[in-house]
């Protein structure tokens, strides 16, 4: 080969090599970034080119799909009772993306997950249109309805979380006010207007906030259940009925400030049972101060505080601080100072007590399936921690049941069912200047000693008369309805 031809051959070879390198760079190195590029509409077009799979509750879909009449997206998502189920489903929108289960399980629902490759290949061979798979939830439709309708009837902001103690299955997850995800599922002008109205800057009610998972509130006196557990687990007290030697008044250590109780209640030298029944700040503040920050923090962590939970939807971490002095620890131990918790967190507290001291990891996806219902993955219940021994859990159960039988939680009583609970009225605003939050946490036990449900309810009513706000008055009746919905005919 003469010199000019050799040069041309080498140059052509280099061009081919450069083409191969560029092709492999695009296909393998840059594939993910190109796929996720917001300017790449092909991915979105493919996502909405086939029917989206369903999110299932109790064997019935709470989602659907509809064909669009304009644009290059063939299908869009529809929802049944969208506002009620929004804290579970989240939304998927042609214009605004997706969140919660719609986002986390998008691969299954859109039919693009690698686990669906074999099924999609068979459908391609047979000429069948590709379809998304299904996400089967742990939710209980009756419990969710009771929770949402209870909040709606109250007319105030609030949330409900309910768990099956023995497994960690989430049975209800309600937030109010809410929104219908179907109004923002498309890409039309009307969807744009609906989206703007839902944004917090345009709507102070913030209806897209998932208050059950993402909002942290001061838990008030419901946190006294955690403090009682710490007292029992650390041997500060060994039973529910021994005097605690708590003076009245009680001055917080290192201060001249007296910790006050609500009203004229029998808190002097009260037992743990009486202190929980009447919600004595002095007793539980002194317990927290006597145990110290480290032991209180250790117990709070066993119940799930300070860690995000993934259900698989992310839950905000609940707060119990370290490096607190004795008086700050006292206030934190009655659910004030900077202690804060999500409703799901406080449902976990009640759940662990009901489940004889074992806390199960909360989850809301039971199974993912192909579109023809073949299971791809099933969730196995998992122990998260053991905040209490079985013996101490039994003591705490008896104390919480006294609260409902004789104390501040009477509105949660259910005929023929043992109910344990704790009310809370948490301070809100600078110097408690705003209306307090009303809390109630509870569990139900059947005659066979099984516990099918634990519930947490929080109400933030900005318009209520301050003196009318109480956990027993506003939150306990909602918890009762949720528990009754789960129990159904199982009494």
How far is 233 from 291, CA to CA, in rounded Å? 11
Angle between helices 390-406 and 224-233 (to 10 degrees): 140
pLDDT at 158: 96
Burial class (CB in 10 A: 0-12, 13-18, 19+), 285: buried
How far is 37 from 276, CA to CA, in rounded Å? 56
Secondary structure of residue 211 in the 3-state scheme:
coil
Which one, of 144, 40, 25, lies nearest residue 83 by Cα?
144
Please give the domain boundaries of the chain with CATH numbers for all domains.
Answer: 220-364+384-487 (3.40.710.10)
Please say whether the beta carbons of 335 and 220 come within 8 A: yes
DSSP letters, 166-189, are TT-BEEEEEEES---GGGGSS-SH
Residue ranges of E strands in 210-302: 250-251, 258-259
DSSP letters, 105-163, are THHHHHT-SGGGHHHHHHHHHHTPPP---EEEE---HHHHHHHHHHHHHHTSEEEEEEE
How far is 227 from 223, CA to CA, in rounded Å? 7
pLDDT at 470: 63
> Distance from CA of residue 253 to its chain's centroid?
36
Q: What is the Cα gyration radius of the chain? A: 27
Q: Which residues contact 414 (CB under 8 A, 6 or more apart)?
A: 444, 480, 483, 484, 487
The helix (run of H) or strand (run of E) holding residue 98 is strand 97-98
How far is 459 from 159, CA to CA, in rounded Å? 7
How far is 285 from 244, CA to CA, in rounded Å? 12
Angle between helices 224-233 and 293-302 (to 10 degrees): 110
Q: Which residues contact 98 (CB under 8 A, 6 or more apart)?
A: 90, 91, 92, 106
Q: Which residues contact 20 (CB under 8 A, 6 or more apart)?
A: none
Q: Where do we find the tokens 């109480």? A: 470
Peptide bond into 46 cis (omega under 30): no
According to DSSP, the residues that pair with 217 across neighbouring strands are 341
Q: Which residues of the chain have a pLDDT value below 70? A: 1, 26-41, 117-124, 126-128, 427-435, 461-470, 489-491
Examine the residue annotation and report whether 221 is marked as an active-site residue of this protein. Answer: yes
Q: How far apart, in Å, are the Cα atoms of 149 and each of 154, 176, 473? A: 8, 9, 17
Instruction: Quote the pTM value.
Output: 0.89
H-type alpha helices, 189-271: 189-198, 224-233
pLDDT at 416: 92
Which one, of 149, 146, 143, lies nearest residue 176 by Cα?
149
427-484: pLDDT as tens digits? 644 444 456 789 999 999 999 999 999 999 999 864 443 333 467 788 999 999 999 9
Q: Where do we find the tokens 């917090």? A: 200
Identify the active-site residue in 93, 110, 175, 221: 221
């Amino acid at each position: 080969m003469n010199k000019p031809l050799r040069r041309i051959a080498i140059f052509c070879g280099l061009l081919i090599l450069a083409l191969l390198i560029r092709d492999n760079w695009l296909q393998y190195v840059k594939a993910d970034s190109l796929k996720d590029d917001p300017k790449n509409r092909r991915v979105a077009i493919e996502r909405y080119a086939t029917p989206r799979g369903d999110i299932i509750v109790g064997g019935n879909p709470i989602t659907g799909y509809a064909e669009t009449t304009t644009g290059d997206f063939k299908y869009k998502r529809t929802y049944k009772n969208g506002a009620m189920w929004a804290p579970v489903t989240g939304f998927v929108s042609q214009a605004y993306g997706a969140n919660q289960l719609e986002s986390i399980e998008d691969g299954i629902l859109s039919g693009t997950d690698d686990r669906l490759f074999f099924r999609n290949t068979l459908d391609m061979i047979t000429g069948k249109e590709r379809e998304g798979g299904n996400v089967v939830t742990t939710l209980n439709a009756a419990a969710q309805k009771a929770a949402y309708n209870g909040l709606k009837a109250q007319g105030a902001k609030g949330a409900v979380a309910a768990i099956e103690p023995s497994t960690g299955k989430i049975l209800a997850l309600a937030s109010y006010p809410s929104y219908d995800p179907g109004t923002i599922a498309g890409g039309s002008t009307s969807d744009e207007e609906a989206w703007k109205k839902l944004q917090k800057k345009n709507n102070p009610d913030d209806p897209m906030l998932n208050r059950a998972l993402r909002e942290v509130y001061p838990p008030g006196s419901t946190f006294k259940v955690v403090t009682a557990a710490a007292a029992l687990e650390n041997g500060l007290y060994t039973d529910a009925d021994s005097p605690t030697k708590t003076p009245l008044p009680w001055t917080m250590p290192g201060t001249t400030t007296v910790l006050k109780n609500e009203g004229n209640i029998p808190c002097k030298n009260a037992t743990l049972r009486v202190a929980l029944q009447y919600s004595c700040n002095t007793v539980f503040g002194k317990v927290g101060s006597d145990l110290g920050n480290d032991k209180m923090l250790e117990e709070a962590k066993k119940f799930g505080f300070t860690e995000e939970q993934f259900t698989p939807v992310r839950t905000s971490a609940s707060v119990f601080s370290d490096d607190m002095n004795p008086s700050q620890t006292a206030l934190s131990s009655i659910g004030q100072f900077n202690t804060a918790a999500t409703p799901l967190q406080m449902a976990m507290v009640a759940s662990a007590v009901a489940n004889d001291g074992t806390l199960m990891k909360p989850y809301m996806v039971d199974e993912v399936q192909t579109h023809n219902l073949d299971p791809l993955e099933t969730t196995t219940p998992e122990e998260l921690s053991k905040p209490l021994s079985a013996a101490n859990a039994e003591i705490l159960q008896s104390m919480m049941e006294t609260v409902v039988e004789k104390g501040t939680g009477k509105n949660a009583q259910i005929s023929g069912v043992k109910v344990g609970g704790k009310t809370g009225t948490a301070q809100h605003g600078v110097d408690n200047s705003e209306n307090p939050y009303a809390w109630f946490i509870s569990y139900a036990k059947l005659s066979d000693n099984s516990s099918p449900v634990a519930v947490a309810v929080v109400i933030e009513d900005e318009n209520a008369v301050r003196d009318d706000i109480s956990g027993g008055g506003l939150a306990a009746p909602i918890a009762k309805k949720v528990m009754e919905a789960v129990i159904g005919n199982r009494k």
